[in-house]
Amino acid sequence: MLLPDYLDRSDPESAIAAAAKRCSNWGRWGNDDVLGTLNFLTEAKRVEGARLVRRGVSFSLAQRFEMDGPQKGWRRRTNPVHTMLDTGTDAERGVQGFPHGIGGADDVITMPLQASTQWDGLGHIFDHGMAWNGRRAGDVVTSDGDRVTGIETAAAQIAGRGVLLDVGRAIGHDGELPDGFAITPAHLEATVAAQGESARVGRGDLLMVRTGRLTRARRDLAEGRGWGDYAGGNSPGLSFTTADWLHATEIAGIATDTWGFEVRPNEFDDAFQPLHQVVIPNMGLFVGEMWDLEALAADCAADGVWDFFLTAAPLPVTGAVGAPVNPIAVK
């Protein structure tokens, strides 16, 4: 995908700086703000979302947290390690030390907080050493964690009107976009137009964008090829040029079925996740990754309704810069 003429592939630094300035929300909600775009998700928006429950059918949008994938060790991101502390075998043998025949099972999990379906917190990405709302990165995230915008600050916030834009189905081939496909504002608007009024996107909405990348990864799994490069490799995703669209629509958050939200390879030469650098520390946008949108997308396509009530609270790990989530969409 070619960048517009006003963007120079060889100069990501200038493009990022210009987009950051145009799309900045620093100070918009006061100097002490820790919620960023979640400020758009008001009580009225939650009521609007709740009113979208019509049939009572629900969908989990989480991938499984399991030891076999999809992570492969990039920057020490591993898959969960699940260990049993007590088992049924222990109970049968009477070695647990409980009275009157009661037994039980317990387990523990060790994993990076962004091993599977997750939210990026506002302390996850910095821009030239600056964090969300103009704070110094070192004043926000230390060895003690994020003591300013830790993910726990969002624990009660993320519930409201969800909207699914199935770009893979609307403009892709057989429901999938190829790796390296950059989704532009024109593609997003074309998908809205194709899906109809229930797909309108506006202030306070929680937007989900399906590319079909997870579909392809699961096909590879079923055919014995493993997860491949799903985590960190080439992928369809949001174009850098969507920064202004994301800012103008005033959405509360966005999530995709991909590992990295934005297109990979990135559109600039010698760049790494430039859209992240604009939308998280400058716009204050909450970004979700590795969401499983397949069953929801099939249902939306069947009944032609693309909005629903969504609740997607992150696990409130104090000081974390990202956290696992089991999003639930209810139609």
Q: What average pLDDT does this structure show over 221-227?
A: 92
Q: Positive or negative, the Cα torsion across 220, 229, 286, 194?
A: negative
- Given a cut of 90, is residue 74 above it in pLDDT? no
* Strand 253-256 relative to strand 286-289, pairing: parallel
State the Cα–Cα distance between residues 111 and 115, nearest whole angstrom: 7
Q: What average pLDDT does this structure show over 96-110?
A: 95
Q: What average pLDDT does this structure show over 158-184?
A: 96
Location of structure tokens 């009113």: 51
Contacts of 284 (CB under 8 A, 6+ apart): 25, 33, 35, 36, 37, 122, 132, 133
- Given a cut of 80, is residue 132 above it in pLDDT? yes
Task: Label residue 187 by pLDDT band (50, 70, 90).
Answer: very high
Token pair in block for residue 170: 């609307």
Task: Label residue 245 by pLDDT band (50, 70, 90).
Answer: very high
- Given a cut of 80, is residue 240 above it in pLDDT? yes
Arithmetic mean of pLDDT over the chain: 96
**Residue from 286, 292, 298, 285 nearest 326 by CA:** 292
Contacts of 5 (CB under 8 A, 6+ apart): none
pLDDT at 72: 82
pLDDT tens column, 260-270: 999 999 999 99
pLDDT at 90: 94
pLDDT at 2: 67
pLDDT tens column, 195-205: 999 999 999 99
State the Cα–Cα distance between residues 124 and 157, nearest whole angstrom: 18
pLDDT at 193: 98
- Given a cut of 60, is residue 1 above it in pLDDT? no
CB atoms within 10 A of CB 163: 25
- Given a cut of 90, is residue 242 above it in pLDDT? yes
pLDDT at 209: 98
- Given a cut of 90, is residue 76 above it in pLDDT? no
Token pair in block for residue 110: 């060790």
**Residue from 143, 76, 141, 85 nearest 114 by CA:** 76
pLDDT at 4: 78
pLDDT at 303: 97
- Given a cut of 80, is residue 88 above it in pLDDT? yes
Location of structure tokens 């994938």: 69
Which residues of the chain form CATH 3.50.30.50? 12-76+113-330
State the Cα–Cα distance between residues 136 and 134, nearest whole angstrom: 7
Residues across the chain: 331
Specify the CATH number for 12-76+113-330; select among 3.40.50.10860, 3.50.30.50, 3.10.129.10, 3.40.640.10.
3.50.30.50
In contact, 130 and 281? CB cutoff 8 Å: yes
